[in-house]
Structure 1
Amino acid sequence: MDSSGDGVGDLRGIAQGLPYLSWLGVDAVWISPFYPSPMKDFGYDVSDHGHVDPAFGTLEDFDALVAEAHRLGLKVVLDYVPNHTSDRHPWFEESRSSRDSPKRDWYLWRDPDPGTGGPPNNWLASFGGPGWTYDDATGQYYYHAYLPEQPDLNWRNGEVRAAMLGVLRFWLERGADGFRVDALRQLFKDELFRDNPPNPDHDPEGSPYDALLPVFSTDRPEVHEAVRGMRAVLDGYGGKLLVGELYLPIERLVAYYGEDGTGVHLPTNMHLIPTPWNAREVASLVERYEAALPEGAWPNWVLGNHDRSRIASRVGAAQAPVAAMLLLTLRGTPTIYYGDEIGMHDVPISPEKTQDPWERNVPGRGLGRDPERTPMQWTAGAKAGFCPPDAEPWLPVAEDHDRTNVAAERDDPASILTLHRRLLALRRATPALASGSYTPVPATGDALAYLREADGRRFLVALNLGHAPHHQLVPETGPTTRGRVILSTHPDREGEETDGELRLRPDEGLIVELLD
């Protein structure tokens, strides 16, 4: 929410929304970067790690937000950006001032290729173009995994590591409850700066970055050493959470749990996002992920985020409630992206209103992330209640905000918002759903089913990912196959007795408590 009238959400606006989050039933709120920044990449180009950008408020506003969150029983998780800084950061300005600068080695500087005089190797930037930019003043290239305005830090330098761990301590001292570590896999690069190999499966219509396999510029073994250092800092404050943003195959993702409690608490499992909305493929993903988890590791699931198309746009409005039930009943910690709980969809953004540098750098590919970042829809009023009526929001609000908004859905028993709140309340009150075992149940066609069990109570979750009715057998795992529907995406089913077989309506999800 924008509290100042400049069209941009801010810390006071978040604080105003905290009672809603408490009412919804979440445990924590993750806030994207609010540090001083030239805003070349929405604050992920940090120019000062120890202050608040005036666009978002002040340090006092942050302190007030944390105090209010804690009063409401909510945790506050901050975005930590250790891989790169802004090119306006004093560290980089000092580093590029001279080859003899004491901070020259804080960033990745290399001589031009001796043969071509061009970039030192073939590494690409995620947002398009080469990963190297030439600096005329010093005659060397510097590396940036993202924009040229986001030079990468050199984590092989001990002073860099100490400074960035100091950033964690600064915000922990101000009350932060944890961190989501941005671009964690990029933290270390190959010491020899070898070329990345070509990707044989690259789609020419997709992102140019995917033309190469980034084996020498991401997910290097040394990243785990850096994670251990971060974890040690957080463990020194007790009860703090470390989340790692990691777009990696499952077998490499789970390695970030580390050994003996030295890794990331939650390496973000975002595999549900690209998985086709097909019961068999979703079931296979869950099975592979559960099997790959190290002993004692706690799973987590992400179905929507700020970098991918919204759930309602990917699976359709009819299936969005089913997706919510899947996310909130799988074993593990779920992450809900703001607005998904009210069914927000992608909003088309005209070229003249495009904000995302990815879309501007690689136009026409549909890579831009603006459509899923539009303002939260609070009311049916002008500008969806995100900002004052006479202000212009930084991105346009959805055309259906008069129907899809918190105020309209809050007291509607059939709304997707009410479903989210009821699912969260049920999860909190039911150990089997919060932390119980997960057992897949045989299902066919468009159906997906599994058991959650703890403390002698068994719950069958049955989801119809299709648009036709489906019959699902109740597994013979107890003395009877009788059950009672305790929650459905179609509320009129609740309380219904079942025995041996469930009749799933089109686009329906059910939670059935199995009876002795």
Structure 2
Amino acid sequence: MIQDTIWWHVYPLGATGAPVRDRAGDDSGHRLRHLGPWLDYLVELGCDGLLLGPIFESVGHGYDTLDHYRIDSRLGTDEDVEWLIAECDSRGIKVMLDGVFNHVARTHPAVGQGLAGSTNWEGHEELATLHHDDERVRELVTDIMLHWLRRGISGWRLDVAYAVPSDFWADVLTRVRGEFPDALILGEVIHGDYAGIATAGKMDSVTQYELWKAIWSSLVDANFFELDHALGRHRAMLAEIVPNTFIGNHDVDRIASKVGQAKAVIAAALLFTLPGMPSIYYGDEQGFEGLRTEGFEADDAVRTALPASPDELSPLGGWLYTQYQALIGLRRRNPWLTRADLEVREKTNETITVRVFNSAQELLIDACLAPTPGVRVHAGGETLYEWHAS
């Protein structure tokens, strides 16, 4: 099933070195093809899905869309995305696109047509909220989603899905699934009733921000009681949906900067052994660092450019890449983990033991922060993975 996919999440404008704000000097190119050398890397890492951030024509950062049918000129052309999808398909890589259907750029034609513009989105004057109760908007979003599914993508990430009325998603996704019943729909949800939002909107999955927060915060504060609480909520969610688990994305601080390189291994171990559909933000597997700042350049540090090919990566991240490979390999050998149950067996501030299980199998994850950070995954007395900071 597509929910068993392990995604490599890329922010294309940043990863390919495109100009995000000042487009005057370098406004065109075929940068999507820069991702070509990274497709074999993705497979060798153990992933089988490419989750792309915005690729459609936009004003600046990609979430200020101007045309959902046209590839951003900084990234290339229609032929470039056709090439990328074909290259992914030849390697068994599924492609998911980022659909920004809550708002559009203030200069989007939809504003002049009365489909958007009555309110700014979250105070951003350059963004106009779409009128989701307008049948024309529902038809437009349905057509956009179908257009790219017909081109060969496997699913959609719905940006700020939590801000759009659930009846809009339920209506649009019912129409989309009439032609593509197996399309994966991942909604971005930051707070609220995760499973309720997914169910009401007929989404397959939502971003599990609660678990992301608990993982890094527990590691920073030496407080696994917080993780225990979040895992209880995660368990309840698993009864209804398969949430998207992650420890990094384009909107948050790099995990290695947040918790340190050593504890980042523990975070990765939890990501790949806990139930859910994991995604890896590009570079986290190499220990990329970056902290968000303020203002227009707030996200630049976490949306960095990739080198021309994996051969040009710094050797400093190789050790962490090896740990990711081992953990993803463990996940691949135990596909039942995606829909498993869980319980916390023991916990202190600095240690936790989590049992992940179904009716026939189980894994135990032992994580500790002292005297040195470490993690062990075992089953039936056999150690399946172990790492400790030296």
Fold-level match, TM-score > 0.5? yes
User: Structure 2: which amino acid aligns with 1:426?
Assistant: L
1:337 partnered with 2:235: no
Give the TM-score, by structure 1 length.
0.64
Matched residues, number: 361
- Secondary structure of the residue aligned to 1:20 is helix
Aligned alpha-carbon RMSD (Å): 3.0
Following TM superposition, by how much is the alpha carbon of 1:439 offset from its aligned partner in structure 2, in angstroms? 2.6
For residues 34-113 of structure 1, the aligned pairs below 5 Å read: 34-39=55-60, 42-92=61-111, 95=112, 103-104=113-114, 106-109=115-118
Measured at CA, do residues 452 and 12 of structure 1 come closer, stay the same or move farther in structure 2, by a change above 3 Å? same
Q: Which of 242, 253, 262 pairs up with 1:309?
A: 253
Measured at CA, do residues 253 and 434 of structure 1 come closer, stay the same or move farther in structure 2, by a change above 3 Å? closer
Following TM superposition, by how much is the alpha carbon of 1:437 offset from its aligned partner in structure 2, in angstroms? 2.9
Aligned-partner Cα distance in 2 for 1:307–1:37: 18
Measured at CA, do residues 49 and 178 of structure 1 come closer, stay the same or move farther in structure 2, by a change above 3 Å? same
1:241 partnered with 2:180: no
Structure of greater relative contact order (alpha carbons < 8 Å, 6+ residues apart): 2
- Deviation string 1:418-451 (CA, Å, 9 cap, x unpaired) is 1111111111112443443323212323112112
Aligned-partner Cα distance in 2 for 1:471–1:175: 39
Q: Which of 252, 258, 261 pairs up with 2:199?
A: 258
Give the TM-score, by structure 2 length.
0.83
- Secondary structure of the residue aligned to 1:462 is strand
Aligned-partner Cα distance in 2 for 1:90–1:442: 57
Aligned-partner Cα distance in 1 for 2:93–2:301: 28
Following TM superposition, by how much is the alpha carbon of 1:28 offset from its aligned partner in structure 2, in angstroms? 0.9
Measured at CA, do residues 301 and 9 of structure 1 come closer, stay the same or move farther in structure 2, by a change above 3 Å? farther
Q: Which of 401, 416, 420 pairs up with 2:324?
A: 420
- Deviation string 1:280-328 (CA, Å, 9 cap, x unpaired) is 211211112213x274422332211111111011111110111100111
Q: Show the counterpart of 2:357.
A: 453
Q: Which of 246, 263, 285 pairs up with 2:230?
A: 285
User: Structure 1: which amino acid aligns with 2:298?
Assistant: G
For residues 397-436 of structure 1, the aligned pairs below 5 Å read: 402-405=314-317, 409=318, 415-436=319-340
- Secondary structure of the residue aligned to 1:60 is helix
1:162 partnered with 2:168: no
- Secondary structure of the residue aligned to 1:376 is coil
Once the two structures are overlaid, the 10-residue window that deviates more, 415-424 or 73-82, is 415-424
Q: Show the counterpart of 2:10.
A: none
1:175 partnered with 2:149: no
- Deviation string 1:188-227 (CA, Å, 9 cap, x unpaired) is xxxxxxxxxxxxxxxxxxxxxxxxxxxxxxxxxxx11112
Following TM superposition, by how much is the alpha carbon of 1:3 offset from its aligned partner in structure 2, in angstroms? 9.0
Following TM superposition, by how much is the alpha carbon of 1:34 offset from its aligned partner in structure 2, in angstroms? 1.2
Aligned-partner Cα distance in 1 for 2:292–2:91: 36
Following TM superposition, by how much is the alpha carbon of 1:53 offset from its aligned partner in structure 2, in angstroms? 1.5
Asked if the contact 1:257/1:264 (under 8 Å) is kept, the reply is yes
1:440 partnered with 2:341: no
Q: Which of 352, 359, 368 pairs up with 2:295?
A: 359
Following TM superposition, by how much is the alpha carbon of 1:185 offset from its aligned partner in structure 2, in angstroms? 2.0
Aligned-partner Cα distance in 2 for 1:165–1:17: 31
Measured at CA, do residues 312 and 237 of structure 1 come closer, stay the same or move farther in structure 2, by a change above 3 Å? same
Following TM superposition, by how much is the alpha carbon of 1:253 offset from its aligned partner in structure 2, in angstroms? 1.7
- Secondary structure of the residue aligned to 2:133 is coil
Identity %: 27
User: Structure 1: which amino acid aligns with 2:45?
Assistant: L
Unmatched tracts of structure 1, length 5 or more: 96-102, 110-141, 188-222, 350-357, 361-366, 386-400, 410-414, 475-480, 491-506, 509-516
Asked if the contact 2:16/2:34 (under 8 Å) is kept, the reply is yes
Measured at CA, do residues 300 and 86 of structure 1 come closer, stay the same or move farther in structure 2, by a change above 3 Å? closer
Following TM superposition, by how much is the alpha carbon of 1:152 offset from its aligned partner in structure 2, in angstroms? 1.1
Asked if the contact 1:246/1:253 (under 8 Å) is kept, the reply is yes
Following TM superposition, by how much is the alpha carbon of 1:154 offset from its aligned partner in structure 2, in angstroms? 0.8
Asked if the contact 2:16/2:305 (under 8 Å) is kept, the reply is no
User: Structure 1: which amino acid aligns with 2:42?
Assistant: L
Unmatched tracts of structure 2, length 5 or more: 1-14, 20-25
Instruction: Select the structure of larger CA radius of gyration.
Output: 1
Specify which structure has the higher proportion of strand.
Answer: 2
Q: Show the counterpart of 2:383.
A: 485
Aligned-partner Cα distance in 1 for 2:375–2:284: 29
Aligned-partner Cα distance in 2 for 1:225–1:270: 23
Q: Show the counterpart of 2:306.
A: 376
Following TM superposition, by how much is the alpha carbon of 1:359 offset from its aligned partner in structure 2, in angstroms? 1.1
- Secondary structure of the residue aligned to 2:316 is coil
Measured at CA, do residues 164 and 457 of structure 1 come closer, stay the same or move farther in structure 2, by a change above 3 Å? closer
Q: Which of 15, 24, 33 pairs up with 2:54?
A: 33
Q: Which of 149, 157, 173 pairs up with 1:231?
A: 173
User: Structure 2: which amino acid aligns with 1:107?
Assistant: A
Aligned-partner Cα distance in 1 for 2:105–2:116: 12
Asked if the contact 1:431/1:454 (under 8 Å) is kept, the reply is no
